Amino acid sequence: MLGYIIRRILAVIPVMTIVAVFVFLLLRLTPGDPAAIIAGDMATPAQLERIRTSLGLSDPLHEQFITWVGLLLQGELGTSLISNTPVTQMIGQRIWPTVNIAVLTIILSILIAVPMGVLAAWRHRTWVDYVVMAFSVLGFSIPVFVIGYLFIQTFSIELRWLPVQGYIAPSEDFSKFLSRAILPCLTLATIYVALIARMTRASMLEVLGEDYIRTARAKGVKETVVLFRHALRNAAVPIMTIIGTGFALLIGGVVVTESVFNIPGIGRLTVDAILARDYPVIQGMILLTSGLYVFINLVIDLSYTFFDPRIRY
Partner 1 sequence: MLRIQERLFRGRSLGRGAALGLLAGAVLMAGSSMATIPAVAEGKTVTAVMHSGLRVLDPIITTAHITRNHGYMIYDVLVAVDENFEPQPQMADWAISDDNLVYTFTLRDGLTFHDGNPVTAADAVASLRRWGKRDSGGQLLFDVTESLEAKDDKTLVWTLKSPFPALLEIVGKQSAVPPFIMPERVASGSADEAITDYTGSGPFVFVEEEYQPGVSVTYRKFDDYVPREEPASWMAGGKNVKVDEVKWVTMPDAQTAINALMSGEIDYLEQVQIDLLPILETSENVTVETRDELGYQTIGRMNFKYPPFDNVKVRQAAMMALSQEDVLGTLIGNPDYYTICGAIFGCGTPLADESGSETLTSGGDIEGAKKLLEEAGYDGTPVVLMQPTDVVSLTAQPVVAAQALRQAGFNVDMQPMDWQTLVTRRASQAEPSEGGWNMFFTNWMVPEINSPLISPMLNGRGDDAWFGWPKDDEIEALRAEFIAADTSEKQKEVASKIQKHTLENVLYIPLGQYASPQARSNKLTGMIPSPVPVFWNIEKAD
Residues 88-147 that bind partner 1 (CB under 8 A): 90, 92-94, 96-97, 99-100, 102-103, 106-107
Question: Which of positions 187-206 make contact with partner 1 (CB under 8 A)?
Answer: 199, 202-203, 205-206
149 binds partner 1 (CB under 8 A): yes
In whole angstroms, what is the distance from residue 86 CA to residue 11 CA?
28
Nearest to 181 by CA among 207, 204, 205, 155: 155
Among 127, 159, 172, 312, binds partner 1 (CB under 8 A): 172
Instruction: Say how far apart CA 68 and CA 20 lie, in whole Å.
Output: 10
CB of 73 vs partner 1, minimal distance in Å: 25
Torsion over CA: 49, 51, 54, 56 (sign)? negative
Shortest distance, position 161 Cβ to partner 1, whole Å: 11
In terms of Cα–Cα distance, which of 162, 188, 183 is closest to 109? 188
Are residues 27 and 64 in contact, defined by beta-carbon separation less than 8 angstroms? no
Q: Which is nearer to partner 1, 115 or 170 (CB)?
A: 170
Residues of span 24-53 touching partner 1 by CB under 8 A: 31-33, 36-45, 47-48, 50-51, 53
Number of residues that bind partner 1 (CB under 8 A): 93
Interface with partner 1 in residues 211-270 (CB under 8 A) = 236-247, 259-265, 268-269
When the beta carbons of 64 and 297 are compared against partner 1, the nearer one is 297
Q: Which one of 59, 76, 210, 301 is in contact with partner 1 (CB under 8 A)? A: 301
The gap between the terminal CA atoms of the chain, to the nearest Å, is 5
Least distance (Å) from partner 1 to the CB of residue 220? 29
Residue type, 276: A
Out of 115, 131, 144, 170, the only residue in the binding site for partner 1 (CB under 8 A) is 170
How far, in Å, CA of 139 to CA of 234, rounded? 26
The three-class DSSP label of residue 19 is helix
**Rounded-to-integer distance, Cα 272 and Cα 253, Å:** 12
- The CA angle 163-165-166, to the nearest 5 degrees, is 110
Q: Which stretch binds partner 1 (CB under 8 A): 57-65, 68-76, 219-227, 294-302?
A: 294-302
Please tell me the total number of residues recorded for the chain in this structure: 313
- Shorter beta-carbon distance to partner 1: residue 198 or 230: 198
CB 157 to partner 1: min, Å? 6
Q: Is 154 in the site for partner 1 (CB under 8 A)?
A: no
Out of 146, 157, 209, 224, which residue is the one contacting partner 1 (CB under 8 A)?
157
* 168 scored as a contact of partner 1 (CB under 8 A): yes
Collect all residues with Cβ–Cβ distance below 8 Å to 232 and sequence separation of at least 6: 114, 118, 200, 204
Q: Is 113 helix (H, G, I), strand (E, B) or coil?
A: helix
Pick the closer one to partner 1 by CB: 64 or 259: 259
